[in-house]
Amino acid sequence: MPVFTVNVKWGKEIYKAVELSTDEPPEVFKAQLFTLTNVAPERQKVMLKGVVIKDDWGKAKLKNGVTILMMGSAAELPKEPAEKTVFLEDLSESQLVSAMDLSTGLQNLGNTCYMNSTVQLLKTVPELGDALKQFNGQALSNIETDVSGSITASLRDLYSQMEEKKYAEVPPLFLLHLLRKQCPQFAEKNNEGHFMQQDANECIMEVMRILQQNLKSTGKRKDFIDQFFGVDYSVTMKCKDEEAIEEAETKFPESSLQVNCFISQEVKYMMTGIKSKLCEEITKHSPSLGRDAKYQRESKISRLPSYLCIQMVRFFFKEKGNINAKILKDVKFPMTFDMYELCTPELQNKLSPMREKFLAEEERKNEEKAAIKLKGGDALANLKQEKKDVEYERYDFENDPGSSNSGYYELQGIVTHQGRSSSSGHYVAWIKKKGDDWLKCDDDTVSPVKGEDILKLSGGGDWHIAYVLLYGPRRLEIHQPAKTDSTTAETPISMETDTN
């Protein structure tokens, strides 16, 4: 970690041996100067050899003993309040979680951030919480034949404990014990006898497979996970070899619980990475030619789930070092996502009615904003007023509960990885709370962040990089026309949706 000991000159004052870390942004250093000088960070101008330091360290030539110049005047000290202030550090753990409306954190039990981030991500699916509450199994430590049932019960009990918010953090000891019993790869140790870091996406998929065995579907799908996460494809395979003129085109179905975004040099956006593998050229045995030949493989989505889980395929095996190396490339992902163009024509036709409702609602809101502005009102403030008893349209097809009837999604959770290899580094979950408010769930530390912080997780460096993204259904509020009378005009109605 690049840490320097510098001197800071402020007017006639010189502060010696001030520590500065370039791993932290300049805002952190300015906050440190604020404690020394009482000059608020926004009033500071920090310079090093004529270079003004702003949002990053840029071209600043730092070394031990260098003198940094700070300009700015200290603000007047505030008067002591009439009522004693209650500080966050004076609150108990449970009071702190309640006061800040935070989620309960999970203790890291030794390289278990991969499991903690998985638990936090899946907790954002309310239907999963309801299904777990209806599961009647027991979490038993000595069971040998039905470990998956005990894991399901343990996850249910852990979520219940987290929802109570009695503690700022809880230790998921029992779930970890059972998961390592069911999946031996998670019990792997290094040469020093310590449990090794594991892949978070592998953990997500293993937990999903375990839940598949125990949570029943409420519709016609095989199980609950398949009902709410299952993606169906219609695959077409056509031989491109000129000698295989008579070989017929073949079609067959496929399914998955996850959509993959493959990352190459050309991929800059998540949609591009997803499309790259839905239409590709492969080599396989040709029955008509009796040899390998090139085929065009094209996949179209024939069924969309309510919750879309997308993996950014960032790890690849590197023989040198015998590790799963990481692709750090910046790949942008959206807060709202539309899967329409990846669907079969048949599914597109089924999605159209709900999509037309979304379009009509957008037009209605735009007209409402324009009307409010003409009256001299604040359109944004009016549209963002809180409403009680909000009702929403169905987000799934009536004959297929757990599907998506529009193809529109909103981002509700991310698991990021920081590091250069899947067998090392650190995993963190980022969970949408409401609107532009998010939570960073870094094991036992849960802190509030904003949407702009989420968009910075697209990659390009050693910061946290999006690895698994979970999109939930975009909700359409049922519009109730306002009542009118002979003396008053129609009252604008807020149409802000809440994906949580």
Per-residue pLDDT at 491: 41
CA angle (244 as vertex; 239, 247 as ends), nearest 5? 75
Per-residue pLDDT at 433: 95
CB 404 within 8 A of CB 302: no
Per-run averaged pLDDT (10 residues), the chain, 500 residues:
83 86 79 78 85 83 88 67 54 52 89 97 97 91 79 95 89 93 93 91 97 94 97 96 88 97 94 94 92 95 98 82 81 97 98 96 88 72 61 95 98 95 88 95 96 95 93 90 48 40
Whether 417 sits among the annotated catalytic residues: the reply is no
Per-residue pLDDT at 78: 52
Tokens representing 264 are: 């190459």
CA distance 157 to 164: 11
DSSP annotation of 109 = -
Per-residue pLDDT at 79: 56
Tokens representing 459 are: 């990659």
CB 449 within 8 A of CB 464: no
CA torsion angle 185 191 197 199 (round to 10): -40
Query: CATH 3.90.70.10 spans which residues of the chain?
Result: 340-473
Sheet architecture: strand order including 51-53? 13-21, 3-10, 67-71, 45-48, 51-53
Question: Per-residue DSSP letters for 354-410?
Answer: HHHHHHHHHHHHHHHHHHHHHTT--HHHHHT---SS--B--SSBTTBTTB-SS-EEE
CATH architecture for the domain at 3-71: Roll (3.10)
Whether 279 sits among the annotated catalytic residues: the reply is no
Give the C-alpha distances (Å, rounded to integers) separating 246 from 241, 249, 282, 293.
11, 9, 19, 14
Between 3.30.413.10, 3.90.70.10, 3.40.1050.10, 3.20.20.140, what CATH number should domain 340-473 receive?
Answer: 3.90.70.10
Per-residue pLDDT at 242: 86
CA distance 131 to 124: 13
b/e per residue 315-327 (b: at least 16 CB within 10 A): beeeeeeebbbbb
Catalytic residue among 177, 426, 441, 464: 426
CA distance 27 to 463: 17
User: How many other C-beta atoms lie within 10 A of the C-beta of residue 479?
Assistant: 15
CA distance 246 to 157: 59
Give the sign of the dihedral formed by CA 202, CA 116, CA 139, CA 102.
negative
Per-residue pLDDT at 388: 61
Task: Return all residues near 11 (Cβ < 8 A) that are at least 6 apart.
Answer: none
Query: CATH 3.10.20.90 spans which residues of the chain?
Result: 3-71
Per-residue pLDDT at 316: 82
Per-residue pLDDT at 496: 38
CA distance 188 to 21: 35
Catalytic residue among 113, 183, 203, 261: 113
CB 33 within 8 A of CB 47: no
Tokens representing 24 are: 């932290």
